[in-house]
Chain A
Amino acid sequence: MLGYLLAALSPLNIALALVGVSAGTIIGAIPGLTATMAVAVLVPMTFAMAPESALILLGAIYTGAIYGGAYAAILLNTPGTPSSIGTTFDGYPMAKKGDGDLAVSVASLASLAGGLIGAIALLLLAPPLAKAALAFGPVEYFWLAVFGLSLIAALSTGEFLKGLIGAAFGILIAMIGVSEVGGAVRFTFGSTTLLGGVETVSALIGLYCVPVLIELVARPDRHLDKPAETRGFRLPEAFAILLREKFNLIRSSIIGTLVGILPGAGGSIAALVAYSEARRSGKGEPAYGQGNPGGIVATESANNATVGGGFIPTLVLGIPGTPPDAVILGALLVQGVRTGPSLFSQGSSIVYTFIFGLFLATILMLPVGLMIGRFAYGAIVRAPKAGLVPVVAFMTVIGSFAIQNNLTDAGIMVVMGVVGWLANRRGFSVSPIVLGLILGRIAEEGFVQSWTIGDALGNQWAQFFGRPLSMAIIALTLLSFVYPFVPQVKRIVRDHRAGIRAPMLKRAGGAAILRDCIAIGVMAVIALTFLVQSHHLMAEAAAFPRTIAIAMLVFCMLAVAKVLFTGQVSEDLSAGSTPRRIAVPIAMGLAVALVPYTGFAAAGIVMSLILMAVAAHDRLSVSSWIKLGLSVAVIMVLFTVLFRDLLSVPLPRGMLFRL
């Protein structure tokens, strides 16, 4: 073992780990650039290296990218990678209150701890854990997805029905395009643009980030509260939080490791499951969802633990645990390294050198992450709105393109942004929609597969409910659905005993009730459209979306009844300038439309000119306008060059400009 440790600590490997972690962190922080892509970009470089060094570099960039996603989540409310969706829940509220630096430090420490626990599992428990992962069949994946959806109960604070409607909406959107398991083309409304479906990451960027941009320009107040003075890394505070949250930290890291082992689940689900467990047992102020650092501890430790966890089936079974693992496995194959049980059992030097390299990379992540995080925080806190808005908007456009090298995705991102903003406004929170989008496909796959198997064996009941592992997940799901309502029920029972009658809540005005009914009505129309469209599909492709659409209609009816009966309306009526708001998606849409003609850089600059004007609330002197404009233009050009030449993204060359 010591020999492998020393081999991992060669100067070359240390340098590779450092470069990998730094590059990964930066790539992960940019919305749209995912860990999978970060790894894929580096693969050709590794062919000239020894397999151990190649693996260390790839492992380092992977772990860095998963961690880097936290910055954008905390500072911009935009998950940099899907793994950090859960980090937005508490990270962004913390940053808004001026604690962004603390949030970044907590994320760094939690990622370190999670990464180490995942790596320890890989080192000591890999073969037995890999066996355990194989016990997970289609039914278990179906129930796991349903368990994930049960988080809606916790996430849609106050408006449970609207959360359910949102989740059903997300699931239906996920059904658009070619269904891999059903083998059918669905809900494209005859357009070839929608053939590829709604790509999850670009939809995420749209749903989370665009509403933030729209609200940012609407009012003159600052993006994040600025601290009075610079306060360093606030490491002692962050340490104290981790110490207080030690059970949460360990539980989340274990959840992350275990979910990472399941091929096809991945970091986003691990972090969400860990978050819901933390929230269930979490106490203390402020509440979860309003800036409790415990939320960041849970999500960031869990998602980094999936790195080590995901390598377990990859190296032991030759089955990739997460999408980046699939790329790493391909790279190993090209190098001629055979993964599989023999690789582990024969104590191959490659595996152990790599595992120690992963430890090394995880530890290096802390100093690297703190430095980059401090820079990112400082830059975003200090940036004037008129500079921040166009740069972030440009990142989202070019990032959504880069996921699948497809401009359609960038267009869909802008559309989803408008959808997200409207939904927020009308009291539908975005998170249930995102849950539906991510989990819908997994749920459908598991459902169709289980159904096919159950049908062949002639016993659906045993198939869906008879397996011990399924029963355990179903029990957890019920618990997670019911638990958030326990305090409410307790209060009602207590009040009833004490003879206190619940005070009548004031009914909202007629206009508000009408607005709410219209919003729910629109959702009902969407459900109906999907229902009608599913009519001509073959049974296997139609069953799942049809069920969801019918459920969505029922939820809509219940929601309307509830509004009319109780008169309670949830909506967001924050003030601000409507023309400025409308200008944001229009400018972004314009940029997407211009790209084929002008290329990315010029389209970005045109968009920036509009957004700078829209975002500026203070009077600026001509010279500061010019300075700001020039720096924004330079950033656009730099980004374009970075994407094309460093990340080899095949950006379309404009007909007018080459950049």
Chain B
Amino acid sequence: MKRIALLAVALGLFAGAAAAEDFPKGPVEYIIPFGPGGESDVSARLQQPFFNKLYGQEFVVTYKPGGGGAVAWSQLNSMAGDGSVIMGVNLPHIIIQPKQENVGFTTEDITSVYIFHYTPDAIVVPANSPYKTLADLIADAKAHPREVIFAGSGKGTGNHLAQVSFDKLVGMATTYVPFKGTGAAVTAIVGNQVKAGWSYTTAAVGQQGQLRVLAVATEERHPAFPEAPTFKELGFNVVSGAYRGIAVPKTASEEMRKKVSDAIAAINANKEFRQKMIDAGFALVDIPYGKEMDAFMAARAEEYIPAAKAAGVLN
């Protein structure tokens, strides 16, 4: 018994030592906590060829959907920390979900090593909508409380929290109707089933001509929508969206975390990659592992949790 235990420890040490050496040392399994076809999948697919070009190894993209991502995140720490597995992380999901109920993980359990982009929030209306500007929409919402109906993706999600926060900021009352995913919400907006939508620039990219973007929650105008003003230009200090990044199991050594972080940073720095992401409607950010990540997560939590309470998804 003792000998087996010793052997296990030795093996573990050996594995640990090997793991610390380099990344990637073989194909890397890149787990998407959702099904195929969504924004997380598309991002991974865009990163795939650049990772291969930079490191000569493959990203093997696999899917582990369920529970709005919670199924995959709750299993993250039982996976190998040797750099052979990385997992996508999404905000606000990993901050809100553990506060709602026991979902098998806490925000602190997730070792995020890099946040690489966000899909900026945007208010969109059907192309034939009477709202030509954000001011039109706000005026109508103030005159007719609750009757301006927004579609968005899910409850307690980026879209929902954006709606709640913006209502409060402006001092208006609108109605939010949750749909199953961005695609379903956009369908309802294009089909005039609702008056407007909280959506993302990535969703609006494929709908040009059918949707009008009234405002985008970026610092500066998004290159894919040169006509659409930012909230900031219109006098509202809103820069927000759904953030995406990479996490590793917590058994990964400090060195490994740093190395994965650097690898994702290198992809994000590639000029051709940046152009592709921007064309698809993403807005790139660079939050590496370490103090910056901790500060970023803390700031987001401060923003999301009160909004989620106001939205009624947290007690």
Contact = CB atoms under 8 A, between A and B. Distances in A.
Contact of A134 (B66, B192, B313): B192
A135 interface: yes
A570 interface: no
Given A192-B74, A455-B175, 19 more contacts: A47-B48, A134-B187, A137-B188, A180-B154, A180-B178, A183-B157, A183-B178, A185-B100, A192-B104, A196-B71, A197-B66, A317-B187, A320-B37, A326-B37, A326-B183, A340-B208, A404-B71, A406-B71, A408-B71
Contacts of B186: 319
A579 interface: no
A200 B209 CA distance: 36
B190 A317 contact: yes
Interface string B133-172: 0000000000000110100001111001000000000000
Nearest to A195: B67
Interface string B46-66: 101100000000001111111
A453 B187 contact: no
B107 interface: no
A185 B194 CA distance: 27
B68 A178 contact: yes
A181 B180 contact: yes
Nearest to B68: A178
Contact of B62 (A39, A329, A330, A648): A648
A195 B71 CA distance: 7
Contacts of B155: 180-184, 540
Contacts of A334: 42, 45-46
B117 to A, nearest CB: 15
A567 interface: no
B36 A36 contact: yes
B26 interface: no
Given A135-B191, A183-B313, A449-B178, A192 B102 contact: yes
A196 B66 contact: yes
B132 interface: no
Interface string A15-54: 0000000000000000000001001100110010000000
Contacts of B62: 405, 648-650
Contact of A178 (B46, B70, B207): B70
27 contacts: A44-B61, A134-B190, A136-B191, A177-B66, A181-B154, A182-B178, A184-B100, A192-B70, A197-B66, A317-B207, A323-B35, A327-B41, A330-B38, A333-B206, A333-B280, A334-B42, A334-B45, A338-B206, A404-B63, A445-B179, A453-B175, A453-B194, A457-B149, A648-B60, A648-B62, A649-B62, A650-B60
Contacts of B103: 178, 185, 192, 195
A457 B187 CA distance: 21
Q: Considering residues B37, B205, B208, B313, which has the most beta carbons from chain A within 10 angstroms of its beta carbon? A: B37
B184 interface: yes
B37 A330 contact: yes
Interface of A: 36, 39-40, 43-44, 47, 133-138, 177-178, 180-185, 188, 190, 192, 195-197, 199, 263-264, 313, 317-320, 323, 326-327, 329-331, 333-334, 336, 338-342, 404-406, 408, 445, 448-449, 452-453, 455-457, 538, 540, 648-650
Interface size class of B (residues with CB under 8 A): 35 or more
Nearest to B74: A192
Given A196-B71, A317-B190, A326-B36, A404 B175 contact: no
A340 B102 contact: no
B177 interface: yes
Contact of A445 (B146, B157, B180, B207): B180
Contacts of B180: 180-181, 264, 445
Contacts of B193: 137-138
Given A183-B178, A538-B312, A36 B35 contact: yes
B183 A263 contact: yes
Contacts of B210: 317, 340-341
Contacts of A183: 100, 154-157, 160, 178, 313
Nearest to B194: A453
B272 to A, nearest CB: 12
Nearest to B155: A183
Interface in B52-98: 60-68, 70-71, 74
Nearest to B42: A330
A134 B192 CA distance: 8
B211 to A, nearest CB: 10
A414 to B, nearest CB: 18
Contact of B66 (A184, A199, A318): A199
B36 A40 contact: yes
Nearest to B96: A183
A545 B291 CA distance: 45
Nearest to B206: A318
A133 B186 CA distance: 13
Given A181-B180, A183-B178, A456-B146, A340 B46 contact: no
